Amino acid sequence: MAHLSNSLSWLLLVVSPLSAQMIVQPAGKSVPQAKTREELDAFGTVMDSGSPQAIATAAKRFRDLFPKSEFYEYACVAQMQAAMDLLDTRLAEQTASTVLNLNPNNPEALLVLAEISLTGFTSETIVDAAQVERASEHARAALDRLRALSLPPLSEPHTWLRTKRSMLARGHLALAQVATLQGRWGTAEHELQTAIDLTPSSKAYLLLAQVYKQTNREEQAQVAAKEAGLFASAAVAH
């Protein structure tokens, strides 16, 4: 899962825009306050870390040192995303559960749990129906929470909207994967089109090509596969 580019994206939605490392008040909430400058600096180290490994280490250190911090949930999310980048799904799942204990409405943790549940399934593998159902529940819950999120005051609207669109797309993509595994091709196609409308990606186009193939639409499958290739090369070039 190519999570690197999305690292810390959820923080952008709620304490946006951290791309410019500016914390603005999330709608209806207050900005987390550090009790000491050391605490703020330790959180800053998480934000400033470049690689997933460095983020994971800094986030763990932060959690160990400042378990009562108002930034604790944010550090957990950073650690969870880093774990996904490092393909450590066990740690990611564990951290996602911690995040959801702190905040059951955290959409990034819900999305990660949906994505973890779907990891490793292909249309050819034997499907664990209960696991797929869990993925579907998490993705739906994430989409519900995301849809309700509104632009925090003073945040940069374009960056915020781009992040929200990208996360909504991940939710729809997860639902498309669920539908594909259950052979519900119409639903899968609809979810994929929605995901592509929100934020086109090679993964969504690839899955769409698969749906077209399964429903005997060879020509459309080829077009979708070509789009997938274009997005994959663009991502590599980027």
Partner 1 sequence: MARAQSLDKPYSALPESALASGGNCTSFQFIPESERTIPQLVRSASWRELETVGHQLVKACPDSAIGYHWIGVSYLRRGRSFAAIRALEDSLRRQQDAGAHLLLAEAFYELGQKQFFWEEIDAAKSMTPQESGIYYLAGLFCFQTEQANEKAAEWFRKALDRNPKHLLARCYLALCLEAMQQYKEAESTLLEAVGSASQMSADTITPLQILVSLELEMNQPLDALNYAKRAAQITPHSEKVQLALGKAAWATHDQTTALAAFKAAGDLDPESPEPHYLLSRVYAARGQDQLAQQEITIFKRLRQLYHGSFE
The site map against partner 1 for 46-65 (x = CB under 8 A) is -xx-----------------
CA distance 2 to 86: 10
Q: Decide: is 123 part of the binding site for partner 1 (CB under 8 A).
A: no
37 binds partner 1 (CB under 8 A): yes
* Minimal distance, residue 23 CB to partner 1, in Å: 4
**Whether 163 contacts 104, CB under 8 Å:** no
Least distance (Å) between residue 166 CB and partner 1? 12
Site string (146-175) toward partner 1, x via CB under 8 A: -xxxxx-xx--xx--x--xx----------
Mask 1-30, x = binds partner 1 (CB under 8 A)? ------------------xxxxxxx-----
Q: Is 222 in the site for partner 1 (CB under 8 A)?
A: no
Q: How far is the CB of 84 from partner 1 (least distance, A)?
A: 23
How many Cβ atoms sit within 10 Å of the Cβ of residue 124? 6
Least Å distance, CB 105 to partner 1, is: 12
Separation in Å, CA 41 to CA 28, 76, 145, 161? 26, 16, 30, 28
CB of 229 to partner 1, least distance (A): 27
Q: Smallest gap, in angstroms, from Cβ of residue 163 to partner 1?
A: 11
Give helix 107-118 / helix 129-148 axis angle, nearest 10°: 160
Nearer to partner 1, 52 or 152 (CB): 152
Q: How far apart are CA 13 and CA 168, in angstroms?
A: 12
Please work out the total of residues on this chain that contact partner 1, with binding judged by CB under 8 A: 30
Between 117 and 163, whose beta carbon lies closer to partner 1?
Answer: 163
- Is residue 41 a contact residue for partner 1 (CB under 8 A)? yes
Measured distance CA(225)–CA(209) in Å, rounded? 5
| DSSP assigned state of 156 | -
Rounded to a whole number of angstroms, the CA Rg of the chain reads 18
Q: Residue 182: exposed, middle, or buried by beta-carbon count in 10 A (0-12, 13-18, 19+)?
A: middle
CB of 225 to partner 1, least distance (A): 29
Rounded-to-integer distance, Cα 58 and Cα 42, Å: 7
Using the 8-state DSSP alphabet, how is residue 19 labeled? G
Q: Which residues bind partner 1 (CB under 8 A)?
A: 19-25, 31, 33-34, 37, 40-41, 43-45, 47-48, 147-151, 153-154, 157-158, 161, 164-165
